[in-house]
Structure 1
Amino acid sequence: MFKNYFFLKRCAIELNQVLKKEIILEAYTQERDKLYLLIGNDNLPNRHVVISTNPIIPYVFIKDNHFRAKINTINFFNEYLPAEIKQIDIATNDRIIRITLNSSNIYFIVRGNQTNILLVDNESKVSVFKKSKKNNPIDLRNEVMSLKFTDSFRDNRKDYNSNNLTLPHISKEVLSEIEVRIKSGNKNDFQDIQTEVIHAILKNKIAIFYNNDMHQPMMCPSSFLTYTIPKSTELFNSYNNSLGMYLSIKFRNESISKLKAEIEKYLFRELEKLSSKLNELKKRIDAGSKEGLYKYFGNLLLSNRPLIKKGMKEICLCVQDSKEEIIINLDPKLSPQKNIDVYFDKSRNEKINIRQSHNLYEKIENKYKYLLKIKDEYDNSTELESFSDIKKKLKLNSILKPIKLVEEKIKYRHFLLEGKYNVYVGKDNVNNDLLTTKFAKQNDYWFHARGVSGSHVVLRVNNQKENIPKNILKNVASIAAFYSKSKTSSLSPVSYTFRKYVHKKKGLEPGKVILSKENVVIVKPEIPKNCELLDE
């Protein structure tokens, strides 16, 4: 109701009483839809009048202490300022507040989506705060200059009679209050009740409270019957003070709503993801390790190596000291020794994988329990400070940054080094291309085992000013060697460079790239101990 015509009239009259003969030193904007008028004096050097042209929240508000931003500000109406305020008044039948200066008038026009600020000088030259295709500045100028304005609480009774109910200043709130008062039966004369309601808006103390049914703050005269005003509600004599409280509550509640939505979205997403991961790891752990089985197959193949021929898809071997036969699958493309190595590699990987699964399960379970604790704290919070504290605990400033669509749809192996550095590993040739050309950023580090086929590996660099430690680069190189044909070697050379030096030329096969610049490091192919597998 704060933008009701009669409240705006009360606002204009208060502004005139406080600011008449004061000097507007400058006018500028530093945020969307707001014009700041610096009207400082010896007692209040940083006093501003803030005019909001936001179509949902249009207002004029005196702010005793405001400082202009050092950057990203734009001046308005320079050629007319500084200027003394001669008068502040409002149109007699429209939500248009006029500030009369030495050689110009500033008009604050409240009209929904077309809310704007207009300056018209004594020569009828027009300047606008917001450009609009719908409203011609000349037409607006002609309209406002034809209106009558008032700076008095007294108006002719005929201006508000029942024949004028379609005028902009007779709002739904006024009509609703008139209807409630008629139904209460104290008075029956519509015109008398209408005058009484208007007088209440112009003269009564103003109540600011939160309406739980409507889920929003309310601002209305303390004598209004339309709303149930709590007994503990603070009352204000000044429109400006009441508006300040109203805006404070409104913006505070909007901040709480945004924070709640942000936190709730994150908690739901993370708890669901962690729950799914825990279930997967539980199945993996319950299934047990196949380390011994793969090692047994490897030894059995090794002892029967002469029987293995390249091109075989499987081999049937007798178990030692038993008539039982066992069928072992082979890769027909691999040599006998390579097929044997595959099972020994599987055995080693299984040992590493089961250990990592146990460690990862414990870490994820701890995080899951922590987030459940945070959720409980969230469910019992009501204050902005509490939600802000939860947001800090969850470190949402960095977590909830917009994610590119390609990152959401494409999956890579994801490792976390030392709890800080994100490492991504391609799964096949096509996946390698996507990782390198679509996912990796120009200043990310790129790794590949030198001279052999293998996965593309990317170390994400979030802060370009940060120097990545050498041990981290070696750790990532070890991961690249591990996911390559050099996996079984004791040492392996690995090329690394920035992504911007990796080029994919037209016609190259999937997974193939060209490096215009590279460094080489010799490392042991392995998954480092300080490395945590986040996503397979």
Structure 2
Amino acid sequence: MISNHHSIARWVMEARSVLVSARIMEIFCQQKNLLQIGLVTPSRQSLVLEIYCDRQPYIVWRSSYSRKNKNSMDLFPMMIGLHIRDIVMDNTDRRVILSFENGCRLVAQFYGSANVWATDASGVITGSFKNERAVHESSMKIEPGGADMRRYTQDAVDVFESVALFREALSGGFGHLNKILTLEFLHAASLSDITTAREAWRNFINAIYDGAPRIYTDHGDLKYFSLLPLTHHLGRNPHWKEELFTSVNDAFLAYVQLRFFAERLQKKREDLLRASRQRIKKNEHLIMALQEDAEKAATFAAYEQKAHLLNIHLRDVHRGMDKIVVTDVYDEAQNEIEIKLDPILSPQANVEKYFAQSKKLKQSVVKIAERILTIGKENDTLRQIEAQFADAHAIDRKALEKKYDEFVRNGWIKKTESSKPTRAADQEMPVFREFRVHGNWRVFVGQNDIKNDALTFRFAKKDDLWFHARGVAGSHVVLKRDGRSDNPGQRAIEAAAQIAAFFSKAKTSSLVPVAYTERKYLRKPKGAKPGMVVLEREEVLMVPPVEPREIAV
């Protein structure tokens, strides 16, 4: 439901206050169907706008992001450096339009074949995120609406002269309501006459645009996103959990994360069931082969009998003979039996060879029986696993994760790229403490050795300033330049140094020496522990440790 018309409209209303006037720094794709737009706001805040163009598309902004060093492709170069002039909805359907100072637009579509297009001022498509050849230089009909779709949707009800016509329109998706919202409206509204129906409609739309966004889950399973309470559905599902959010974007982010985990869990479930079926089939073939081996091994008695017969007629056996025919004294009919010999071996060696073959086959009978029993038990367990995880809507997460890891250890499931260790440059950027100091400069603080490494060697740019208390353990601190043309003044530098002193083992000292330098003068020795760096040049400030809230602006 995050791609519902009104959900996107509410998101646009929020986005205008955050993203308008932001400058596009880069547009790239590093994950299939996900377009990312790196932005810097007038307050020098770095953001990324994400637009996902596939099944269940979405649009969100995040306060931090990382770009991978590989498999990352730049897109829409004509848009780099432009400032977002406005963000509106298209009146026709679920399209978000970002317009720029030169009249160009980026148009994100969240229905049908979700996509993002770049257009010039006249509406001619100049670039496409997906399937560019099919649409390049064709025209796009755009009807930019107002920033607030509330009135537009409310007034649409005035065309109906009767409740019957209104109900008929609702069944056809009137007002951009999906099935969930339509049921909620019909459940709550009184439609006794058209005047009452119009009033109920206006109140319902007000609730959509004024309500707190929320997510419903069922024992951790994602159910719905909604802009208003789903009273009708909660009445039928009282066990659902409702989580409220202060902003639509925050709710979108939480929804996307829950959906990602749900899809990841379902993928693991599918892999687990597939591996179980394959293992069962393989085991069944193996049991058939073992049963054939068991039949052959059961002939051990015949080899033992031949060994005894050779012993009885040993004086008649001579080296160089390849066979001998003797009377089978173990046969009631006393029939003759032919025994093959190895002409190279002595008579006694031939006897011992038959005894050895008999012993080996006899031992195989026991081992094969044990193996068949073990494999049979394994198949019984695998069938229990299939039954345990057969229902996709009733999954014990911990049990599934545990069983999945067991299959991976056994080699029954191959590790995918996403489960392999990732290079540091390709990992998701962690969240750091962030403060603002004099001049509106942003200062970031690492919270442990791992985050210190990420802050210094992945997050910081080469011209950012790096700070650390000298001679003691402490957090890495980075003052971000954010592409600004001006330089941080002495007051901002001292504030960053004071923060570095505060987040160190010397925080109780009256004065602390703090080293600082540009990031480009840092290096990490090969094999060094997380958090360890070498400074090739530095300056030192003597500053008192100061709690950030006392100097932050």
- Assess if the C-alpha contact under 8 Å between 2:216 and 2:241 holds in 1: no
**Counterpart for residue 392 of structure 1:** 405
- Assess if the C-alpha contact under 8 Å between 1:117 and 1:130 holds in 2: yes
Q: Specify the code of the residue in structure 2 equivalent to 1:16.
A: R
**Counterpart for residue 82 of structure 2:** 83
Alignment of 1:61-460 (within 5 A): 61-103=60-102, 104-112=104-112, 114-122=113-121, 124=124, 126-131=126-131, 136-141=135-140, 143-144=141-142, 147-156=143-152, 157-161=154-158, 165=169, 170-173=176-179, 174-182=181-189, 189-210=196-217, 217-228=223-234, 230=238, 232-267=241-276, 270=279, 291=300, 293-301=302-310, 303=313, 317-319=327-329, 325-326=334-335, 328=337, 343=354, 346-354=357-365, 356-357=367-368, 360=371, 382=395, 384-395=397-408, 398-401=411-414
Q: Distance in 2 between matches of 1:116 and 1:397?
A: 41
- Assess if the C-alpha contact under 8 Å between 2:215 and 2:225 holds in 1: yes
Q: Distance in 2 between matches of 1:12 and 1:66?
A: 21
Deviation at 1:159, TM superposition (A): 3.4
Q: Distance in 2 between matches of 1:325 and 1:244?
A: 89
Q: Distance in 2 between matches of 1:107 and 1:16?
A: 15
Q: Distance in 2 between matches of 1:400 and 1:220?
A: 38
Q: Distance in 2 between matches of 1:329 and 1:361?
A: 34
SS in 2 for 1:82: coil
Q: Distance in 1 between matches of 2:139 and 2:56?
A: 21
Deviation at 1:240, TM superposition (A): 1.0
CA distance 1:110–1:261, shift in 2 (3 Å): closer
- Assess if the C-alpha contact under 8 Å between 1:316 and 1:325 holds in 2: no
CA distance 1:204–1:226, shift in 2 (3 Å): same
RMSD across aligned positions (CA)? 4.7
Deviation at 1:61, TM superposition (A): 0.6
Deviation at 1:220, TM superposition (A): 1.6
CA distance 1:128–1:168, shift in 2 (3 Å): farther
SS in 1 for 2:401: helix
In structure 2, stretches of 5+ residues that fail to align are 161-165, 416-553
Q: Deviations over 1:235-263 (max 9, x none)?
A: 12311111122222222222222222322
- Assess if the C-alpha contact under 8 Å between 1:108 and 1:117 holds in 2: yes
Deviation at 1:362, TM superposition (A): 8.4
Deviation at 1:69, TM superposition (A): 1.3
In structure 1, stretches of 5+ residues that fail to align are 403-536
CA distance 1:187–1:247, shift in 2 (3 Å): farther
SS in 1 for 2:13: helix
Q: Distance in 1 between matches of 2:109 and 2:44?
A: 27
CA distance 1:78–1:287, shift in 2 (3 Å): closer
Q: Deviations over 1:387-421 (max 9, x none)?
A: 3332222226842349xxxxxxxxxxxxxxxxxxx
SS in 2 for 1:296: helix
CA distance 1:264–1:15, shift in 2 (3 Å): same
CA distance 1:355–1:48, shift in 2 (3 Å): same
Deviation at 1:66, TM superposition (A): 1.6
Q: Distance in 2 between matches of 1:295 and 1:358?
A: 20
Q: Distance in 2 between matches of 1:105 and 1:394?
A: 49
Deviation at 1:278, TM superposition (A): 7.5
CA distance 1:286–1:293, shift in 2 (3 Å): closer
Identity across matched positions, percent: 15
Q: Specify the code of the residue in structure 2 equivalent to 1:126.
A: T
Q: Distance in 2 between matches of 1:99 and 1:385?
A: 43
